[in-house]
Amino acid sequence: MRKYFKADPASAGSVIILVGLIASPLFLVFLYSVHPNGELDLLYPLRALLSPALRNAFLHSVMLGISVVICSTVIAAPIAFLMSKTTFQSHKWLDVIFLIPFMTPPYISSMGWMMFMQKRGFLEQLCPGLSVLTNVFFSYGGMVLIMSLHIFPFIYLMMKNTLSAVGSQLEEAATIFGASGFYRMKKIVLPLVFSGYSMGALLVFIKTISEFGTPATMGRKIGYAVLTTEIHRYVSTWPISFEKATALSSLLLGTCLIIWYIQSAFARKRQYKLIGGKGQKVQLKPVRGIWAVMSWGYLILLLMMAIGVPYFSVIATSLMKLRGYGLAYGNFTLAHYAAIFEAGSAGRKALVNSLVTGFAAATIAMCLGTWLAMLTVMYSKNKNVSRLIDMMSLLPNTVPAIVLTIGLMLFWNASWMPLRIYNTPWIVILTYVVLFLPYTVQYVKADLIQIDASLLHAGKVFGGRPFYVFRRILLPLMLPGMLSGWMMTFTISVRELVASLMILPPNMKTTATYIFSEFEQGDISNGMAMAVVSVGVTTLVLIIINQFKQVKE
């Protein structure tokens, strides 16, 4: 290995960078979790569960993850069937609409729902007779519903893609031999879609137990503590306890890894080849009459709940002079928006901070991610090292963000660290780069895999120098993936909450922390105005980047 690294310094340097950015912080989380009070205790993370409060937080997280997976599946299954097996497949615009909830920051959706359903909230103002639903909503079931309405697009896309790959021949053959609809569903369709669905369910479970925004808003309201909120409490509220924070982080990470292993074991035994050389015949079922009415009714109701309610609440609140007067004529103003853009205001500073750090993080992640993708696909001289680089660069996608953030805090705030960037804006940028690096790696890898090596060989044969071949052939072909990675990193960085709350220097705010603090302090209209501006700015950037991509393509 040493000889290889001497022959390939680029890969060696990449491994060192990834160890410093990702592996070392995660190792420190484990190290701190088993060294409470400076003494080795490998069982300390498990001993933390002896505390009733922490044990309840752990159980709450697991139960919440399971409940959201079930609820998301119930929501997503009907539309996945409609969009893959019926004539509804022609309504491609629905796929774009269904992505809106997933692209909306979960804490904003949660705040919107809470303002809509609270006492004297928008539901009670619009339909006074439905005020009895308030107590029903502010419960564990309401929290599961909010999180499911945010995450269901992920399971929907997984199920839709898998169902689309299941051709009609198998079901037709079963019908010929007298199989009933229920038997065909149980013996053919469900086994074939299980592998794809299980991966979607795994990612939904991990994202749910790693989520901070909704538990910190809705969960705090109903007294439902989970691991993420407890971890944040131990590193942000006196008395600070990094021992307990890292112990809970290790439990959270261990739970994710165990669930991932179980899913992988089940999926390996239930993998089927659905696409062959003969192609697949897909016969779309027409939806007419009462079934069409019921289908459109379900879709409209779902879109109203997933998009209409939270965005209506956020926009209406941002326009109110006095929230106590509610939806009354003359109680609307643009003053809250004007306050954000006022020179020297806290809102303007937060917006500028988010845009600058998001732009810097997206640009650095794009450059680093592109280099790592090129190494793994094209330039690495050793397959084992290539796999190592690939695995480490994608690791932040499978590790809860709060766990990795704790590791970065420990690593960059260590007394032996010569580079003192902790408590500066640079640590914010670095954290965003580490958390969202996988997006660029995945997008650029997808483009590089499709490039035939003969194109690069042709450039060399006709006298092109390496930089010329890279600039005129390789770079234009990678550019769509690079822009997609930049776009995703910028969009999510601007709205990132949990890492920003934990890693921001004193007296520095971003749009996410500004919204969260305004909501906590009762200045909800200012916070909601910032939410609208934040979503608007990132949406505008998405449109501009997409237009630029289309021109380049």
CA 116 to CA 111: how far, in whole Å? 9
Q: Is the pLDDT of residue 517 over 60?
A: yes
Residue 185 pLDDT grade (very low, low, confident, very high; cuts 50, 70, 90)? low
Return the HEC string of 412-444.
HCCCCCCCCCCCCHHHHHHHHHHHHHHHHHHHH
CATH number for 341-378+416-553 (one of 3.40.50.10540, 3.30.70.20, 3.40.1000.10, 1.10.3720.10): it is: 1.10.3720.10
pLDDT (tens digit, 9 = 90+) per residue, 65-124? Answer: 999 999 999 999 899 888 888 888 888 888 878 888 877 888 999 999 999 998 888 998
Per-residue pLDDT, 426: 95
Higher pLDDT, 181 or 127: 127
Q: Is 279 left (phi over 0), alpha (psi -120 to 50) or beta?
A: left
Sign, Cα dihedral of 98, 104, 109, 112: negative
- Token pair listed for 16: 């060192």
Is the Cβ–Cβ distance between 339 and 347 less than 8 Å?
yes
Query: Would you call 297 helix, strand, or coil by DSSP?
Result: helix
Taking the domains of the chain in order of start, what are their residue ranges?
A: 55-274+284-316, 341-378+416-553
Indicate whether 325 pLDDT > 60: yes
* pLDDT the model gives residue 540: 86
Which residues are bridge partners to 285 per DSSP?
A: 86
The CA distance from 419 to 536, in Å, is: 36
Average pLDDT score over residue span 349-377:
92
pLDDT above 70 as % of the chain? 83
341-378+416-553 matches 55-274+284-316 in CATH topology = yes
Q: Is the pLDDT of residue 7 over 80?
A: no
Backbone angles phi, psi at 143, to 5 degrees: -65, -40
Spatial distance between the Cα atoms of 51 and 402, rounded to a whole number of angstroms: 21
Tell me the pLDDT tens digit for each residue of 446-505: 777 766 566 666 666 666 676 666 667 677 778 888 888 898 899 889 988 989 999 999
CA distance 167 to 158: 16
> Alpha-carbon distance 429 to 202, whole Å?
29
* Distance in angstroms (rounded) separating the CA atoms of residues 408 and 24: 9
* Nearest of 408, 378, 398, 383 to residue 475 by alpha carbon: 378
Residue-level pLDDT at 276: 45
Whole-angstrom distance, CA of residue 553 vs CA of residue 550:
5
Q: What is the pLDDT of residues 208-237, one digit of tens each?
A: 998 998 999 999 889 999 999 999 888 887
pLDDT of 1 reads: 46
Confidence of residue 54 (pLDDT cuts 50, 70, 90): confident
The amino acid at 93: W
* pLDDT at residue 348, rounded to an integer: 93
Residue 514: pLDDT band with limits 50, 70, 90:
very high
The pLDDT tens digits of the residues spanning 78-95 come to: 998 888 888 888 888 888
Tell me the C-alpha distance between 197 and 201, whole Å: 6
Fold for 55-274+284-316, please state it: MetI-like fold (1.10.3720)
pLDDT attached to residue 279: 47
